[in-house]
Structure 1
Amino acid sequence: MPLVLYGHPFSSYTQKVLVALYENNMPFEFRCLGPDEPEHSAEWLQRWPLHKFPLLVDGERNIVETSIIIEYLQFTHPGPLRLLPTDPMKALDVRFLDRFFDLHVMTPMQRAVDGALTGDPARREEGLAFAAKKLDLAYAWLEGQLAGREWAAGTEFTLADCAASPALFYADWTYPIPETLPVLRAYRARLLARPSFARAVEEARPFRSFFPLGAPQRD
């Protein structure tokens, strides 16, 4: 039975898992969650009633939380590219960066998006202000952290880069990375050029009108 992934192409966390799957050319069936395919939503909620996606199904096993999904894939369906190093300390560094991008880049961006989705101008401005404050700090830290590195943890593309790809993609739409941070801007450009993420971006392109803050005419 092939792997099954429930999610949506425009979802940042779905994209994080898609990047990992595409990196190793992993065969899987994608079941899009949306009004046009209610049967997928029914299956998804039966398997994971907490209303969170993506969800990976492997036989009788349901796997949730993106970082866990990607580690699970490495343990059970390893490909030529290891997304988590074998060295325990290097793996710890990768896990830390993965959490950094999820918690300190993706989360502030999502706060701004959620505020805009309410339709309340005050909530929208509060969300944008929160995102700007938090992303300023995250961007500045990443500028120093990424200096001299091709990828988040060094020379190899890892779990951390899977997390960084959608996080920086949407964060820059929400609160643009300043030109004074050339290292971070160049890293984001490398992520966009990576075939696995470029594929995820193209698959999500038809849904850009969903972005409540207005998708910029770029990327």
Structure 2
Amino acid sequence: MLELFLHPFSSYSWKVLIPLYENGTAFTYRMIEQPENGAELHRLWPVGKFPLLLDQGKPIYESSTIIEHLQRHHPGPVRLIPEDDAGIEVRMLDRIFDNHVMAQMQRVVNDALRPPERRDPVEVEQAKAALDKIYGWLDDWLAGRQWAAADSFSLADCAAAPSLFYADWVHEIPETLTHLRAYRARLLARPSVARAVDEARPYRHYFPPGAPDRD
């Protein structure tokens, strides 16, 4: 039996939930807000980061690695990492969404978590400028594409869904970037993504900069 340690409002938890839901993979939901699950997570991984997958007692760390593990050992009808050069493209977009969208969004969130006297408007300005750059690049990349890479729903889209969901909350995608905005809407309409969004709704008050009244 698979066990997943996670929080439903966590962006990287969504990244793993989406492929589990895509393939109808059975797992035990170990909500880290429950004290016994939080304690077990820290026992398994002293760093304390989640999600963490436990597969027959073996811990698997980091969301992209968890998805690859699921494909290899618990495959389903939706293959999220193709072979050959298509797989390279998928992994490339996965890293772009994590490093250039998710990470920049997180800089804004982290600033909002600080006490007011320690907040850094320059940090926030730089993060939003970096989001503007990657938004423009992604808009060009997505022209003529339904999904992010390899002509099918993939690991790259599992990374894109939470990163674009929350990034748009901290720095809205401009209306002129029609390809990127349409792609985000397609992601949110995908049943596996919509399920993750709905499960997280009760926790929106956790969002430090304040959740907008949309999505």
TM-score for the superposition, normalised by structure 1: 0.96
Shift of the 101–27 alpha-carbon distance from structure 1 to 2, 3 Å rule, reads: same
Shift of 1:122: 5.3
Residue identity opposite 1:137 in structure 2: K
Question: Is the contact made by 2:105 and 2:166 (CA closer than 8 Å) also made in structure 1?
Answer: yes
Instruction: Check if 1:61 corresponds to 2:58.
Output: yes
2:133 to 134, 137, 153: 137
Aligned partner letter, 2:169: W
Give yes or no for contact 2:90–2:150 (8 Å, CA) kept in 1: no
Segments of 4+ moved more than 2 angstroms: 119-122, 124-128
Residues 60-97 of structure 1 show CA distances to partners (whole Å, capped at 9, x for unaligned) of 210011000000000000000100012x1110000000
Matched with 1:39 is 36
Secondary structure of the equivalent of 1:30?
A: strand
Q: Which runs of 5 or more residues in structure 1 are unaligned? A: none
Q: Deviations over 1:112-170 (max 9, x none)?
A: 10110012255252342122111011100001101100000143100000000000000
CA distance in 2, matches of 1:116, 1:123: 7
The percentage of aligned residue pairs carrying the same residue is: 57
Q: Is the 8 A contact 1:3 1:57 kept in 2?
A: yes
Mark the runs of 5 or more structure 2 residues left unpaired by the alignment: none
Are 2:174 and 1:175 aligned? no
What's the TM-score once normalised by structure 2's chain length? 0.97
CA distance in 1, matches of 2:173, 2:127: 12
Question: Structure 2: which amino acid aligns with 1:95?
Answer: R
Contact 1:10 1:208 in 2 (8 A): yes
Q: Which amino acid aligns with 2:69?
A: Y
Count of aligned pairs between the two proteins = 215
Spell out the pairing of 1:18-33 with structure 2 (5 A cutoff): 18-33=17-32
Which residue of structure 2 lines up, in the alignment, with residue 200 of structure 1? Answer: 196
| Aligned-pair Cα RMSD in Å | 1.0
